[in-house]
Amino acid sequence: MKFLSRRTIARAVLLLCLLPVIVPAGAVEVVASIRPLAMLAEAVAEPADEVQVMQRGGDPHAGALRPSQRMLLKRADLVLWVGPELESSLARLLGTDPDRVLRASAVEGLAWPGSAGVDPHLWLRPANMALIAAALAERLARLNPASAATYRSNAEAFAAEMTLWETRINERLQGFQGHTLVSTHEAYGHFFAGSGLVLLSLDEGGHGHHGAATLLKLRREVRGPGCFLGESGGSPAEQRLASQLGLHFASMDPLGNNLAPTSDIAQLYASILDATVSCLTESAATR
């Protein structure tokens, strides 16, 4: 029996990735840069539309695009991305084509945590997602006018769900007002806005300050029970940081990389909320 070489198999896989996806006539092919935006697009689009996510796992902040990712962007009718605040590598490729590109961070009316506006994780605020959904519906309606009413109706239903999530998040965290959450960088200001929790970061302002001075400063600021929100499945380094700060550790998945392929934005929010409540409950019980 003749076996194929690894190089031959790799080339075959690449060719399959580059093959065009057959989309029904009139349907729209949408490529979202990260999974949460793909979840939003799936909620607004019609079943006949094709929604794909460019970034499956990995860090959207860094790294050059693979050939298969470049091909996805090239053939898409519409690219939905966060913006250069999160995805600088995409900024050079996408430009500002109003017909093919929808930059989520440029949607009017978005809320930003604090005064600096440095936290690009805007999909973690349900109210922001409702606004982005409305903008997406209008862009899809322009590309496929026959389905305009469906897109707008879907966006309205999605916005109603986001309103419920704003209330649900704050209600479940009501008993933890004044407790502390620490993360490696500013990533959760959107999700916990209005919760009454104290949010601290090892990298306030996005300056990359992770040294001993920052750690000492945080030790002085951490008062009472709290949690360290890690994003890498509980790496030893993050576990040590949590221990040094006297905090419990919670493993977070803000991009939904570990969720089932069919998961939606409600399941992403539920996973973050459940992990936080569980950690804060344990932290409070041991004080």
Least confident of 110-119, 136-145, 218-227: 110-119
Cα 255 to Cα 45, 84, 264, distances in angstroms: 20, 17, 11
pTM for the model = 0.85
Q: What are the backbone angles phi and psi of residue 272, rounded to the nearest 5°?
A: -70, -45
Report whether 174 contacts 197 (CB < 8 A): no
- Region 247-272: what's the mean pLDDT? 95
Please state, in angstroms and rounded to a whole number, the distance separating the CA atoms of residues 282 and 287.
9
pLDDT of residue 240: 86
Share the mean pLDDT of the chain: 85
Least confident of 39-48, 118-127, 213-222, 235-244: 213-222
At residue 65 the predicted structure's pLDDT band, cuts being 50, 70 and 90, is: confident
Kindly tell me if the per-residue pLDDT of 17 is higher than 60. Answer: no
- Beta strand 29-32 with 78-81 is parallel
Nearest to 46 by CA among 159, 132, 148: 148
Please state, in angstroms and rounded to a whole number, the distance separating the CA atoms of residues 189 and 113.
5
pLDDT tens profile 30-61? 999 999 999 999 999 999 999 999 876 666 76
